[in-house]
Amino acid sequence: DSGVTQTPKHLITATGQRVTLRCSPRSGDLSVYWYQQSLDQGLQFLIQYYNGEERAKGNILERFSAQQFPDLHSELNLSSLELGDSALYFCASSTRDTKDYGYTFGSGTRLTVV
């Protein structure tokens, strides 16, 4: 157990729908990062939050949004889902937001859009 909790583990939904993925960071970690992993694109950085504020944005589609709440858990919202959104979505947290620190990853949410 890495200490980063993601729910649900699996999600199957239809095109056009909206889903919410949830992440609780490791205790004490203020930074939360979201990544999408697919076979063709590899690991793509989506967005980072630090202590409730958006800090960095990567290749995140406009249909996707995220937020981090006062208790530091984060949610990734995916709307108007398309078949191509099927992927593994990982959340990670970090003790400090500096280059010498790696991330601790959760076990991911596998999203299947049918």
Partner 1 sequence: GNSVTQMEGPVTLSEEAFLTINCTYTATGYPSLFWYVQYPGEGLQLLLKATKADDKGSNKGFEATYRKETTSFHLEKGSVQVSDSAVYFCALRKGNSGYSTLTFGKGTMLLVSP
107 binds partner 1 (CB under 8 A): yes
> Within a 13 Å sphere around the CA of 63, how many CA atoms are in the beta-carbon half?
12
Q: Taking the C-alpha atoms of 104, 42, 84 and 11 in order, what is their torsion angle to the nearest 10 degrees? A: -30
In this structure, are strands 10-13 and 109-113 parallel, antiparallel, or unpaired? parallel
55 binds partner 1 (CB under 8 A): yes
x/- mask, partner 1, residues 57-96, rule CB under 8 A, reads -x-------------------------------x-x----
Applying CB under 8 A, among 33, 64, 78, 85 the residue interacting with partner 1 is 33
Min CB(80)–partner 1 separation in Å = 26
Task: List 64's β-bridge partners, or say none.
Answer: 78
CB of 109 closer than 8 Å to CB of 94: no
Binding site for partner 1 (CB under 8 A): 2, 4, 33, 42-43, 45, 48, 50, 55-56, 58, 90, 92, 97-108
